[in-house]
Structures are given as C-alpha cells and as structure tokens.
Structure 1
Amino acid sequence: MSKDIISIDHVFFRYDNQSSYALEDISFHVEKGEWLAIVGHNGSGKSTLAKMLNGLHFPEKGTVRVCGLLLSEDSIWDIRKQVGMVFQHPDNQFVGTTVQDDVAFGLENSGFPHDEMVKRVHDALKSVKMSEFLDQEPHHLSGGQKQRVAMAGILALQPEVIILDEATSMLDPLGRDDVLKTVRALKAQKGLTVISITHDLEEAAKADRIIIMNKGKIYKEGSPEKVFLMEEELIKLGLDIPFSVKMKKELIKQGFELPNSYLTDEELVNALWTSHLNE
C-alpha cells in the first residue's frame, strides 16, 4: 500500500504586486521513497513550487501537506525538520571553517548532544563518501565534493525528504553523475524521498516519475519512458531530450533494431554491445 508523504491540492500562488499566478491550480502527490523530477524552463514555476514544499512560500489558495502536516505558520518549523534542500550554489550554504564544522552546524542549532552530533556528522560524511575530508576547508573542494558535503549537512538532520533545487546545474558531467549516483544510493539505503527541480532531462531520466511545468501549471506527468516519447512537445517547451534518446532514434534510422527505451548513455551502450555479441 503506497503512502503519500507530500500532497499538493489545488494550489495557487502569486508574488506580491503580480496579477498572474506563478502557480495555478497545482495538484499532485508524492509517495514515500519515490524520486520525483519536476522539470521546466526558467519561469515555469518549478523553483517556486520547491520553495513552497519547504515553507518558504505559502499558497494563496489550496493546501500543502508534508509528512501529514498541513503547511501553516504553526507547522512550518516542524515541516522544515522533515525537508532538506540542496541548492544550486553549495558555497552559499557553507558556514563552517572545516567540512565537519559545516555538517555539524544544523545539529548545533537544533541543540543535539555532543556525542550524538559527532556520530551523525561522521555517519553523514561516510554515506556521501567524504569521510577523509573532515578537516578540509570547504572552499578547497571540487564542485561535486561541495555538493556532497551540502548533502551530508542535510542528511545529518535525518529528514524524510530531500529537495535538489538545480543542485547539479553548475557541475561538469562527471561531477553531476557523481552527485546523482550518491543520491540514488542514499535513496536505496535510507528510503529517502527525493524531489529534483531541474531543467536538465538527463538528470530527470534518473527519477521514477517526471512532472513537466509550463507557465505555472502542470503540463504533463509520467514515467521518464513516457515523457521522452513527447520529443517534439519537449523541444517546443524549451527542453531537450537526453542524448541517449536522440542517439537511439538516429541508430534506428541506420537500421539498428533497438526495441527498448534507453534513458542513459550506459543503457544504450550496453544494448549496442549485447546486439553486437548476438550477431
């Protein structure tokens, strides 16, 4: 039996002095343990929606429930304990002089006992494979390492939900793959619910489900396989399909038989290699 950890029902929101809605009649649910990608071009409403999930915005109309709590002024701090956000620029999140100091910052603010704090810091850094960087200064790390430290700071607080708000957009391809592999491993190990806010469909391909935003509304939703069949529509919305999907289309034109969907380069390469071995 599935359990909804987030419920958004008929939500409307607009910024001060704006006549048009940034979010208009938005409804969707997120299951516990699911990885949901919310995609759209700049101005589609996806980042506004992410901030609402963490109580940075309140709906003008409609309701937001997180972990069974109705978002309100009274529940906002309880909700924030359950939802951790990793942002586009990890440097903006660093406050400690060393990696371990930074990961401990949220725990100190929450009044955790010292022994519990030390254990959580070490466990969180181990889970993102950054234990050997305990005493490093954060600004000396690579982009991918900084994002993993930012994730460790969130994981130490043991939230139910992690929101990645364009968290990989400033990384090179290797750094992005490294962070996404870490997220997938953590999701499997800890049963985390992950929401990634992105315009990058290569990243969205890793998710269980995709919601496409356009002009403040939900345009379409479905599995990555289903969404990537909408190639022409995605391009018209200012989005781009993953390289592996494009390449499969071109290979079929050249006479290759590729009946399945391949959402990553690795899946496509493996399919081509298997096809070659069977010839």
Structure 2
Amino acid sequence: MRKEIARVENVTFSYPDREKPALDEVSLNIYEGEWLAIVGHNGSGKSTLARILNGLLLPSKGKVKIAGTELSEETIWDVRKKVGMVFQNPDNQFVGTTVKDDVAFGLENNGIPRGEMIERVDWATKQVKMDAFLDQEPHHLSGGQKQRVAIAGVLAVKPQIMILDEATSMLDPAGRQDVMDTVRLLNDQGAVTVISITHDLEEASKADRIIVMNKGKKLKEGKPEIIFSMGEELSRIGLDLPFPYKLSMEMRKAGIPLQHNHLTEQGLVDELWTLQQKA
C-alpha cells in the first residue's frame, strides 16, 4: 500500500477580482516518494493549487492536509517546513552573495546550529552536483546551474515534498534536461516527494502520475500513458503532446508497425532499431 503524504479535499479558491473560482471543488491525493505532475494551460488553476499546497494561499473552502498537518492560519509555518518550492525564475529566489550563503539562508531562518548547517549545505550541494561552486556568485551561473542551487536550498531544509512551479520553463533544452535529471535522481533515491507544475507534457511524461487541470477543475488523472491517450482532448485545452509521442502516432498511421506510442525519443529509437533488425 502506498503511504499518503498529502490530501486535497473539495478545495475551492477564489481571487477577489475574478468572477469564476481559480479552483473549483478540487480533490486529489499525493503519495510518499512519487513524482506527480500537475499540468494545464495558463489559467487552469495549477499554480494556485501549488501555492495552496505550500501554504502561500489558504483555500476559500475545503481541506488540505500535508504530512498529517491540516493547513490553517495557525499551521501555515508548520506546513511550509514540510513543503519546499522552486519557482520559475531562480534569480528571484537568490538572497546570498555566494552559492554557500544562499543554500544556508533557509537554515539560518530555521535556527539550525552552525555545525549542522555546514553539514547540510555540503550534503545538499553535493546532491545537485554544485559543491564545486560554493564560493561563486549565483548570478554568474548558467540557468540550469541556478535552478540546481535553488533546489539545493530547498533540499537543505529537508522538506518532505518539493514543488517545482514551472521551474524549467525559462531554461534552454540542455538546462531543462540537467534539472530534470537531477530531480529524477533525488526522487529515485527517496530524498523527496516531487510535485511538478507545468504546461510542458514532455516534462510531465517523466512523472509517475499526471493530473490534468482545466478551468479550475481536475479533468483527468493517471499514468502518463493513460493521459497521453487523450490525444486530441489535450490539444483542445491548449496542451501539446510530446514530439516522440506525436511522431509515433504519425508513423503508425503511415503503416510502420510500432507497438507503442512512445513518450521518449530513446524508446522510439529502440523500437525502430528492433524493427530494422527483424527486417
């Protein structure tokens, strides 16, 4: 049995300046150790949901429970210790003059003793392969390196859940892959449960499970293969299928006897190679 780490029950949230709620009776479960992707176009409610999970917003109606603690005005700070957040633009998160100082910032705020702080900074930067950059200024790093430092700052506090809120959307393909590989490794090692908020279905395809949001409601949830089988419905709500998946579909339509629509380029290449060997 999977252990539940967070639960959202019938959550509604409304912004004062909008007619319709940003979230409308949304319910979902999050399980310890999984990578959950929450996808949707702009305005679907996915980022509002991320901010509620982190205690940055409180629901207008409904309940949120994080690692046994129900979110309320009294428990906001307890919840925030359990949930770390990596935002779209890492430059907006940096407060330290060096990588070392920046990763230590959250630990100082939590009153962690200096000896333990040094150990945690060393551990966190090694996890994201940034321990060779401890004395460098964050603003001089590449985009991918900046996000890895931001992830290290979250890891150092040792949250149970890490939320990536469009954390790769400003990166080039190499930087995006770099960050995703880092997150996958951390997740595989059991260091943290991951929730990625994104409109990029290629990124979401790496998750264990996907929830699709549309107009403030949960439209669908399931493994990536199930979500991508929705095909045209995803396109209608403004989401673009990953290129390897679309290419697999077109090849099958053209008569190439592929057994699957592939989520990754490597999977497609491997099956094409197998077909070539049999020919």
The 1-side partners of 2:90 and 2:136 are apart by 15
- Deviation by residue 1:30-87 (Cα, 9 ceiling, x = unmatched): 1111111111100010000000001111111110000010000111111100100000
Residue aligning to 1:116: 116
- Deviation by residue 1:209-253 (Cα, 9 ceiling, x = unmatched): 111111100111111101111111011001100001011012213
Residue aligning to 1:190: 190
- Measure how far apart 1:275 and its partner are: 2.4
Change (3 A) 1:253 1:261: closer
Q: Which amino acid aligns with 1:124?
A: A
State yes or no: 1:205 paired with 2:216: no
State yes or no: 1:9 paired with 2:12: no
Residue aligning to 2:126: 126
- Deviation by residue 1:113-155 (Cα, 9 ceiling, x = unmatched): 1111011001100000111111111011110000000000000
Q: Which amino acid aligns with 2:15?
A: Y
The 2-side partners of 1:180 and 1:140 are apart by 21
Residue aligning to 1:76: 76
Worse-superposed segment, 265-274 or 93-102? 265-274
Residue aligning to 1:221: 221
State yes or no: 1:105 paired with 2:105: yes
- Deviation by residue 1:138-174 (Cα, 9 ceiling, x = unmatched): 0111100000000000000010000000000001111
Q: Equivalent residue of 2:91, what SS?
A: helix
Residue aligning to 2:163: 163
- Measure how far apart 1:186 and its partner are: 0.1
Q: Equivalent residue of 1:190, what SS?
A: coil
Q: Which amino acid aligns with 2:117?
A: M
Q: TM-score, normalised by structure 2?
A: 0.98
% identical equivalent positions: 62
Q: Which amino acid aligns with 1:210?
A: I
- Measure how far apart 1:191 and its partner are: 4.2
Q: Equivalent residue of 2:26, what SS?
A: strand
Residue aligning to 1:137: 137
Residue aligning to 2:174: 174
State yes or no: 1:32 paired with 2:32: yes
Runs of 5+ unmatched residues, structure 1? none
The 2-side partners of 1:145 and 1:275 are apart by 39
- C-alpha contact 2:249 2:261 (8 A) present in aligned 1: no
The 2-side partners of 1:163 and 1:110 are apart by 19
* Root mean square deviation of aligned Cα: 1.0
The 2-side partners of 1:157 and 1:74 are apart by 21
Q: Which amino acid aligns with 1:76?
A: I
- Measure how far apart 1:269 and its partner are: 1.4
Q: Equivalent residue of 1:10, what SS?
A: strand
Q: Which amino acid aligns with 1:37?
A: A
Q: Equivalent residue of 2:79, what SS?
A: helix
- C-alpha contact 2:6 2:29 (8 A) present in aligned 1: yes
Worse-superposed segment, 161-170 or 189-198? 189-198
Residue aligning to 1:151: 151
Q: Equivalent residue of 2:213, what SS?
A: strand
- Deviation by residue 1:93-112 (Cα, 9 ceiling, x = unmatched): 00111111100111111111
The 2-side partners of 1:45 and 1:177 are apart by 26
- Measure how far apart 1:188 and its partner are: 1.1
The 2-side partners of 1:232 and 1:193 are apart by 30
Q: Equivalent residue of 2:112, what SS?
A: coil
Count of aligned positions: 279
The 2-side partners of 1:3 and 1:277 are apart by 44
- Measure how far apart 1:16 and its partner are: 1.7
Residue aligning to 1:259: 259
Change (3 A) 1:19 1:9: same
- C-alpha contact 2:50 2:165 (8 A) present in aligned 1: yes
Q: Equivalent residue of 2:95, what SS?
A: coil
Runs of 5+ unmatched residues, structure 2? none
- C-alpha contact 2:248 2:260 (8 A) present in aligned 1: no
Residue aligning to 2:92: 92
